[in-house]
Structure 1
Amino acid sequence: MGLSGPRRFAITGAPGAGKSTLIEALTARGWNVVTESARAILQRPGGMELRENDPHGFALAMLEADRAIFEEAMPGQTLIFDRGFADIIAFLRIEKVPVSDVFEKACQHLRFDAPVFRAPAWKGIYRQDDQRIQTWDEAVESDRQCTKAWREFGYELLDLPLASVEERVAFVERHLGPDHWPKT
């Protein structure tokens, strides 16, 4: 019996908590993944300036990029997103920018499937880079705000173990179940 609609899962959590590494490992195992839109925007010419000078515009760019992929998912397809719409709301709150209805409506109507995986702040692996500009304390606050936003929209979060990427991949696959595994 085939899956009817698309399945969309998300990985949220602290910056520098291993989400991108997990996404890369899931990609290598054949999963359909959606990389973090914020990082892609930041790597474009003018991306850092957009984030710094127009956080609302930056948030809209993230929303548009993620919504397009979310809505284009094919029946029976399973996608794993590196972050989701609630993360955009958390970003706006951290930046002290009002959250407009467009973001709230996306969270209410474009629903991810359970579970939503959370990568908790993990000081042992946290590193800043050209796009990850938060201090450790800011990363912890970001995690707190992300967790709060997801829960406000009715999601239960499942914490990833503070473990090797291989153990995290196994954890995700166990919780998604074999019906969603990539066809090899």
Structure 2
Amino acid sequence: MSADTDRFFVLTGGPGSGKTTLIAALERLGYRRSEEAGRAIIQAQSAIGGSALPWADRGAFAELMLSWELRSHAMAFGQDGPVFFDRGVPDVIGYLRLSGLAVADHVRRAAALYRYNRRVFIAPPWEAIFAQDGERKQDFDEAVRTHEAMVEAYSAAGYEFVALPLASVEERVRFVLGHVGAAGG
């Protein structure tokens, strides 16, 4: 992919760590964003009676997430300025490893070809804001393990981390925009 992907910023981490809330706040300020694959896939699969769900068929769920991330990446080229991704392709690798599933060659190739800014924002586990809901069935311990899986997947793919502070949404927005500005975004 081209250097144009330097303006693609991923926010990753475990579930319930404030990623989507932060990205929604950035969107309200006029920034472009992707939608989180996992939650949307769970909602769609539940609506149609599909089995590509993390509690039914994790492999099929991962393939749908990969397709979603590839589409989000392609769509971002048509948007101006910085684009914030609610997870990225390496998240699929982290999910597969966390689930004890093999990482297929095509998933590794996707992570190598579909790149983002080398600096990835990672939301650390934050028990004070963690909550389960209809789509988020993981407990906090699994959220911590997910965070660790994302660190491993993104590190192996050659990314560097910028840890988000455990702070208010407004403070996190200022933090992210300060780093995006420093990156020339």
Q: CA deviation at 1:14?
A: 1.3
CA distance in 2, matches of 1:117, 1:109: 20
Aligned to 1:126: 130
- The RMSD of aligned alpha carbons is 1.8
Q: CA deviation at 1:48?
A: 7.3
Match of 2:85 among 81, 88, 93: 81
The aligned runs of 1:154-165 (5 Å cut-off) are 154-165=158-169
- Does the CA contact (< 8 Å) of 1:37 and 1:65 recur in 2? yes
CA distance in 1, matches of 2:118, 2:103: 24
- Does the CA contact (< 8 Å) of 1:10 and 1:116 recur in 2? yes
- Does the CA contact (< 8 Å) of 1:5 and 1:74 recur in 2? no
The aligned runs of 1:138-157 (5 Å cut-off) are 138-157=142-161
Q: Structure 1 residues 151 and 46, CA, compared in 2 at 3 Å: closer, same or farther? A: farther
| TM-score, with length taken from structure 1 | 0.90
Q: How many pairs are equivalent?
A: 177
Identity of aligned residues (%): 39
Regions of 4+ moved over 6 Å:
none
Aligned to 1:64: 67
Aligned to 1:37: 37
CA distance in 2, matches of 1:168, 1:78: 16
Q: CA deviation at 1:53?
A: 2.5
Greater shift in the superposed pair: 51-60 or 12-21: 51-60
Q: Structure 1 residues 172 and 123, CA, compared in 2 at 3 Å: closer, same or farther? A: same
CA distance in 1, matches of 2:48, 2:175: 37
1:64-119 alpha-carbon deviations (Å, 9 max, x no partner): 11111212313754211000111111111111111101110111111111321000
- Does the CA contact (< 8 Å) of 1:9 and 1:116 recur in 2? yes
CA distance in 2, matches of 1:5, 1:75: 11
Q: In the alignment, residue 55 of structure 1 is paired with which amino acid? A: R
- Does the CA contact (< 8 Å) of 1:41 and 1:47 recur in 2? no
Greater shift in the superposed pair: 63-72 or 24-33: 63-72
Matched, 1:50 2:55: no
| TM-score, with length taken from structure 2 | 0.89
